[in-house]
Amino acid sequence: MEKAIAILKKNNYKVTKQRTDLIEYLSKFTVQYVSINDIASYMRSLYPGMSNNTIYRNLKEFSEIGLVEYQEKDKTLVKYQCDFEHRHHHHFVCKNCGKVTELRACPIEFFTDQLPGYTVEGHAIEVYGLCADCTKKLNSK
């Protein structure tokens, strides 16, 4: 919480009760993603009149300053930043339990070496499969 509040202040965002409550809720999701619908439901349980626009705007701002990470699949999912010191990183996502594990190595050179003359403007890499716990459970059957 303290690091997130410091990042808000450093980026000239007001530290409001709503933002603090949103950060506190999101901080429970460092090893798995949560749907924006679940976030909205939670925030509306605290602030019944809160609009979708307010929720989406705050999440977008949090993403821009590195507090959260997005995953775009069937629906938009959000995860609290797992490592404020290393914003650029990739993930392994368990297809069974949803656990997210940070991968620190970045293989971008492997791809850019195959693209001479191209300008790469960004990338996101996620690896999918079964985490060690789910693999162990599957193999013990």
For residue 129, which amino acid is it? G
pTM, entire model = 0.72
Output the pLDDT for position 89. 75
Output the pLDDT for position 9. 95
Q: Judge whether 97 is annotated as a binding position.
A: yes
Phi, psi of 125 (to 5 degrees): -125, 125
Q: 2-80 architecture in CATH? A: Orthogonal Bundle (1.10)
Phi, psi of 129 (to 5 degrees): 170, -145
d(CA 129, CA 43): 32
Give the homologous superfamily in CATH for domain 90-139.
Answer: Ferric-uptake regulator, C-terminal dimerisarion domain (3.30.1490.190)
- Give per-residue pLDDT as tens, 66-120: 899 888 766 677 888 756 565 677 878 888 888 888 887 888 888 999 999 999 9
Q: Judge whether 109 is annotated as a binding position.
A: yes
Beta strand ranges found along 14-75 (DSSP E): 34-35, 68-72
Percent of the chain with pLDDT over 90: 52
Output the pLDDT for position 74. 64
Q: Where are the domains of the chain?
A: 2-80, 90-139
Output the pLDDT for position 83. 61
Q: Judge whether 102 is annotated as a binding position.
A: no
